Amino acid sequence: MRKFGTIAAVVGLTALGLAIPATSAQATAQVTGCNAKWPGRDGYVRAWADPDCQGTLLGATRGNDADWSDNVGPFTNGDQNQASSVMNSGTIGGKDVVAFYEWPGQSDIRGYTCLAPGEKYADDLRDNMFQKRDGTSVGPVDDNIMSHVWVTASACAPNSWLT
């Protein structure tokens, strides 16, 4: 009977020993991509050249930029039509939504899309389309942003939200 108790104890301790490293490994899993770059609510909009907030950081600002293809502002010549992921870490309240436009001058003549503060980021713009005010999809967002502006949620149509 004593042998059975010893064997049961060894088996139990071995099973426990195998479970602990697995749990520890999960606890130390590394945060990557947009999750790793989330700064908290610091008031900025950011854009990256690659999905999942990777590649070149094209720009970061608390303000608006009417033309990502000029040499003025945080987004400058060469940043237009390059964004594949965007982040809204703006402060909550008032103009806390970022509207991205397919055309300079924050003009929705060609289309726009919005990123709510609660969404935090759109990590892959390849699955999003610009919208016209009438609800018509007009083209892919990925590699096609040319300007942005901070707006209230009411400035965005129901079908215009980035995911």
CATH code of 33-155, in short, is 2.60.20.10
Q: What is the pLDDT along the chain (163 residues), one digit of tens a residue?
A: 444 444 444 444 344 344 444 444 444 568 899 999 999 999 999 999 999 999 999 999 999 999 999 998 899 988 999 999 999 999 999 999 999 999 999 877 789 999 999 999 999 999 999 999 888 999 999 999 999 999 999 999 999 999 8
| Domain residue ranges in the chain | 1-30, 33-155
CB 45 within 8 A of CB 91: no
**What is the residue-wise DSSP string for 84-105?**
SEEEEEPPSSSS-EEEEESSGG
Distance CA 78, CA 27 (A): 40
- pTM for the structure as a whole: 0.81
**Eight-class DSSP state of 29:** P
